Amino acid sequence: MISGQATVLYGAATFSEDIDIWVEPKVENWNKFLNLINNIGAKIYKLTPPVSMELIKKGHGYHFQIPSKDKNPPLWFLDIMGVVPRIGDFKCSFKDVKYQKTDWGKLPVMGIRDLVEIKKTRRLDDYTVISNLVRIEYESLSSRRINTNDWKWILTNSFEIEDLLYYLNSHNSAKSISAALSRACLSFCIKTIVNQKEKEKYIELASKEIALEIEDLRMQDRKYWEPVIDELKKMKEKNQLLALGSKPPDSVT
């Protein structure tokens, strides 16, 4: 499990409409998945391309509605990918999964650090979720001595001024490591701590730097999705997308 519901299970978000799952991009895995969702009456939802290994490996998403047991209109929206943004090999990522208790039993959920990369999207709200995930990771590490690499990750991926100030104020090691990181907002955070008289000025400067970072990440996400969206548009023009409300194919084409 990845993305929105994964952040909910970690406690970094309170709500997500969709269930997002990463299925390793192998024909046998996707055939098993298609067999499963056909057995539970899934229907095609949104812009969904043909289920081919070529398109799966290009990073296309597949969207399904899952009906409720009492035959009401579909309650669940299921989004499936074989390749996810900013994350490498499936097997490498799977080594860091955490098994979480859910209403559906114990499920493998993507590790926090990979989840942070996935959430670097165009949605501004995701950067609050990212900072929440970083805070959760920090809390899990704080029972022992946090090493240099952990601090680099924490200080690089938090987008909340208050959190950054807390890390830097509470740990001398974080303060010294921040000096070696090329992140302008950290420099202003240090100045905020050192010079309380000009605290508001430096907080404002740090906030502006974080806003610039976020905008850059949003732009990178747009560039990532541009070829995928362009290909979807072409398939739509040629009437090649799977029909809305139809059943999924029985196997990968």
Q: DSSP labels for 108-176?
A: EE--HHHHHHHT-SS-THHHHHHHHHHHHHHHHHTTSPPPHHHHHHHHHH---HHHHHHHHHH-HHHHH
Q: Which pLDDT band holds residue 88 (cuts at 50, 70, 90)?
A: confident
Instruction: Give the mean pLDDT of the chain.
Output: 94
Where is 78: in which H helix or E strand? strand 76-81
Where is 233: in which H helix or E strand? helix 199-237
- Given this model, what pLDDT does residue 17 score? 77
pLDDT in tens, 111-122: 999 999 999 999
On the question of pLDDT at 158 being above 60, the answer is yes
Q: Which pLDDT band holds residue 76 (cuts at 50, 70, 90)?
A: confident
Question: Angle CA(215)–CA(57)–CA(232) in degrees, nearest 5?
Answer: 65
Task: Supply 219's token pair.
Answer: 């732009």
Contact 127, 134 (CB under 8 A): no
Is 185 in a helix, a strand, or coil? helix
What's the average model confidence in pLDDT over 3-26?
A: 91
Q: How many CB atoms lie within 10 A of CB 170?
A: 12
On the question of pLDDT at 53 being above 80, the answer is yes
Q: Which pLDDT band holds residue 211 (cuts at 50, 70, 90)?
A: very high
On the question of pLDDT at 110 being above 90, the answer is yes
- Tell me the domain boundaries of the chain: 3-118, 125-225
Q: Which pLDDT band holds residue 18 (cuts at 50, 70, 90)?
A: confident
DSSP assignment letter at 71: -
- Given this model, what pLDDT does residue 13 score? 87
Whole-structure pTM over 0.85, yes or no?
Answer: yes
- Smallest CA-to-CA distance from 237 within 47, 22, 1, 33 is with 47
d(Cα 175, Cα 155) in Å, to the nearest integer?
Answer: 10
Count of helix runs (H) and strand runs (E) in the chain: 11, 6
